[in-house]
Structure 1
């Protein structure tokens, strides 16, 4: 399979409105990170935020005294992140292709970032890149839509959206059952200098199975893999009707 090295820039068009959708869920995500990762690493440890978006989680971790390096493929998202978390370090790159030396005590990926990778081969590439960037005994926790949890919801999804400040947006969902790809078509209207401007963008998400994800983690070297249902096990109420899972795994010590 030939992989394109083109960076995914889809989220540039919604970067300026991303935080308008509400940021309260970031506090919920941080509580989960606290329970699953922060209690197991030293104060001031260096954390890698894969798909950091607008830097809301990075900002909260920095305030707690951690070092944070965020990576995102959207330059627009990173421009907002640098405003939200000026003390963080941010890198413009793609989860599938980045290369960093073993620097980090822990890595996180929230808001189902890895579902935007549409092939299992590139999914494994991203996991391997994180693995290489972790120090030995480093912890990786990431949130994911799983096929078993989301497929029926995606099949039955209709639309959503909102109105906030000078922005109006509509999201329309559809699902390709054969290829297990969810599609979200977003139309945004933004009031600029008294005129409404329209933009349209399609986002695609792959529904991976638990077996696929666990196998991929093991193939790249991760061990001590634990899976949590965010609702049942972590007590997180989803912003949508679609449940997610959190995988926690470790990079082992060298033998």
Structure 2
């Protein structure tokens, strides 16, 4: 999470408990193969790695298990509180992705789960890139994934897209995107069951609902959850996002001093409306960077 406004920080603090249980582990499981291929396999053993916008530390844990020393940065204090419990050996710092410094350089950096879509424009995005560039050793690698305009135009249609119904909590995400303004948001509706509140049904029913073939039924129940469970605590938050032109992202990376390539998570096929864009950027040595600027 990156926006420095206090209200945005509080919004992410409110989501930390849910993210730690649900989306954090899910994102890690989907993206670790890419991270291992694009970054970790390129680093020497015990290298120092930066996890920028680290959230609750879900990506840090497997990196630490591989023997890497990891520093995590996030703006949300509550996200970092969970990260400290998940990965006590990591160094954790509260800060803005656009303006941070490290005590010593890192060999690699990652910013996962489309966190950079929260950056409001290419100028601010370049600030992120320059901060990462300053934190990296010469030849260091920076990898990140980003949702792009063609992808969001096709899929972010203001309809519930994901969610879960558990015994003591439920959640639903509804993404929307406006191509004309290149802005949007994903809304997270979070429900927690107070003592004595109504049940969501037997455990077997919830297990059936979690199956892919029952997605339509699960999403229908979540869309109607507030009416069906008025005695549950409910909080809804909108998290603004920005659609960054991929050519512009590449240009800003190059201007910040990186050599760049782009691919899909699988490393196969083209980045298109059905695939997020994954950037792999290598910091140019100082001499090369000066030559490129001339």
TM-score over 0.5 (shorter chain): yes
1:190 maps to 192
**Is the 1:150–1:244 contact (alpha carbons within 8 Å) kept by the matching residues of 2?**
no
CA, structure 1 residues 103+165, in 2 after alignment: closer, same or farther (shift >3 Å)? Answer: farther
CA distance in 2, matches of 1:243, 1:33: 16
CA deviation vs aligned residue, 1:41-91 (integer Å, no higher than 9, x gap): 100000000011110110111111100000111111111111111110111
1:212 is displaced (CA, Å) by: 0.9
Aligned residues of 1:101 and 1:132 also touching (Cα < 8 A): no
1:253 aligns with 2:253: no
- Given that residues 169 and 189 in structure 1 are in contact (C-alpha distance below 8 angstroms), is that contact kept between their aligned partners in structure 2? yes
Q: Per-residue displacement from partner, 1:177-197 (whole Å, max 9, x unpaired)?
A: 221112112221112444532
- Structure 2 residue runs of 5 or longer lacking an equivalent are 198-231, 288-294
Question: How high is the TM-score relative to the length of structure 1?
Answer: 0.88
| 1:115 match: secondary structure | helix
Count of matched residue pairs? 245
Segments of 5+ residues of structure 1 without an aligned counterpart are 236-240
Q: How far apart in 2 are the matches of 1:134 and 1:111?
A: 21
Residues 210-221 of structure 1: pairs in structure 2 closer than 5 A: 210-221=246-257
Please say if 1:226 is aligned against 2:226. no
- Counterpart residue number, 1:15: 16
Is the CA contact (8 Å cut-off) linking 1:47 and 1:67 kept in structure 2?
A: yes
1:32–1:176 distance in 2 versus 1, CA, 3 Å: same
Please say which of residues 116-125 and 98-107 is displaced more in the overlay: 98-107
| Alpha-carbon separation, structure 2, partners of 1:232 and 1:138 | 20
Which residue matches 2:166? 164
State the shift of 1:100 in Å. 2.7
Q: Is the 8 A contact 1:137 1:252 kept in 2?
A: yes
* C-alpha contact 2:31 2:265 (8 A) present in aligned 1: no
Counterpart residue number, 1:238: none
Choose which of 51, 54, 57 in structure 2 pairs with 1:55: 57
> 1:30 offset after TM fit, Å?
1.7
Which deviates more from structure 2 when the two are superposed, residues 45-54 or residues 95-104? 95-104
Moved more, 100-109 or 75-84: 100-109
Q: Is the 8 Å Cα contact of residues 61 and 68 (structure 1) preserved in structure 2?
A: yes
Structure that is richer in helix per residue: 2
In our comparison, the structure showing a higher alpha carbon Rg is 2
